[in-house]
Structure 1
Amino acid sequence: MKTLFGILTVVILFSCGSNTVIYPDKPKTNHETFSYKEGDTTYVMQKYFLVMLKKGPNREHSKEEAAEIQKKHMEHINWLAKTNKISVAGPSDKHETISGFLLFNTETMKEADSLAKLDPAVKAGRLVVETVPWWAAKGSKLK
């Protein structure tokens, strides 16, 4: 029935000459946003959460243990990406204290922080998490 309603809605809109398409099942989010106008352009900004993965206090694991923790760490990051919780992830380059970054696309800082702390490397003490809010144009992409 929903599909029939959606098809009829699109057919009616196009037959009336409208350029509007209605998506009745599109999920709504509560991401914090604001917009501002500069000249003729309106910018919509969204709050994201930047997680810095810092070197933790427990880095004395054997080579085998460290390799297993790293494998599970990468599985966790892949899971975050597949569930659309993160937009960008990657290691830092030879930084003294920061091992990597995760840019979360969650509704709250608490959610981003909690998800980051589920990382097996964080649980093992190899990494610690610092989460900060970060504003960017909604839907920003790397170039």
Structure 2
Amino acid sequence: MMKKLLITLSVLACFMSCKEAPKTNSTDANDKIDIEVDSTKIDVVEETPVKKTTQQIKEELTSKGFKVFDYVDEKTQDTILMQQYFMAFLKRGPIRNQNEEEAALIQEGHLAHLGKMYELGYADISGPFGDDGDIRGITIYNVPTLKMADSLAKSDPAVKAGRIEVEIHPWYAAKGFPLR
């Protein structure tokens, strides 16, 4: 008798575990998507980013050492959070007598450095100017201190080679506003 009860419970448990759960509308921060691959149904959970309040962003930035302030937009009455960044002006350096091959290698290292700064989250935007002036381009560093921005900028192979120099200034921009 006990043996039959255990077998019945095992079969029932197996049946219940194989039964597909009913679909419900999720109110969580995650959305579930069904994808079929080679006739096999796969559930993929996509996380919806949790939107932080301005106050949470401000606290997070100040805890990391960033300087911030906010102001109220007169038109919209929205509170705008301003964050300090550091704008590095990349200027023509004193040593520009490299041959074409050396200059190309330095430029390759320079571009790799800027790409790495972006990937690591230290620089938000970089680019050259369209004229042939002494100021060759800019990089905007998203770091808490001038010392850190200066150190990162001076680790650029083009700066080390003397091909460019950097001049860095603190600069404020509205946090989270995209370029247009």
Same fold, TM-score > 0.5, yes or no? yes
Question: 1:131 aligned to 2:171?
Answer: no
Pick from 152, 156, 162 the counterpart of residue 115 of structure 1: 152
Q: Deviations over 1:86-143 (max 9, x none)?
A: 1110001114201110001000111011100000000000000000000110123111
Larger Rg computed on CA atoms: 2
**Coordinate RMSD, CA, aligned:** 2.3
- Relative to structure 1, the CA distance from residue 73 to residue 37 in structure 2 (aligned partners, 3 Å threshold; closer, same or farther) is same
**Matched residues, percent identical?**
41
* 1:75 and 2:127 correspond: no
With over 3 angstroms needed to count, the CA separation of the structure-2 counterparts of 1:120 and 1:37, relative to structure 1, is: same
- Three-state SS of the structure 1 residue aligned to 2:65 is coil
Give the equivalent residue in structure 2 for 1:66: 103
Letter aligned with residue 87 of structure 1:
D
> Which stretches of structure 1, 4 residues or longer, exceed 2 Å deviation after superposition?
26-30
Q: How does 1:99-110 map to 2 (within 5 A)?
A: 99-110=136-147
| Cα distance in 2, alignment partners of residues 73 and 44 from structure 1 | 32
Q: CA deviation at 1:57?
A: 0.3
Matched positions, count: 123
Q: Corresponding residue for 2:93?
A: 56
- 1:105, 1:112 → 2: CA distance? 8
What is the SS of the residue equivalent to 1:52? strand
Report the AA paired with residue 113 of structure 1. D
Which stretches in structure 2 are left out of the alignment for 5+ residues? 1-27, 29-49, 53-59
C-alpha separation in 1, matches of 2:118 and 2:51: 31
Residues 100 and 20 of structure 1, relative CA distance in 2, 3 Å threshold: closer
For residues 28-51 of structure 1, give each alpha carbon's deviation from its aligned partner in whole angstroms, at most 9, with x where no partner exists: 522110011234211111001000
Structure 2 distance, partners of 1:139, 1:20, is: 12
1:98 partnered with 2:135: yes
Partner in structure 2 of residue 30 of structure 1: 65
Q: 2:124 is matched with which residue?
A: 87
Q: Which amino acid aligns with 2:100?
A: K
What are structure 1's unaligned runs of at least 5 residues? 1-10, 12-18
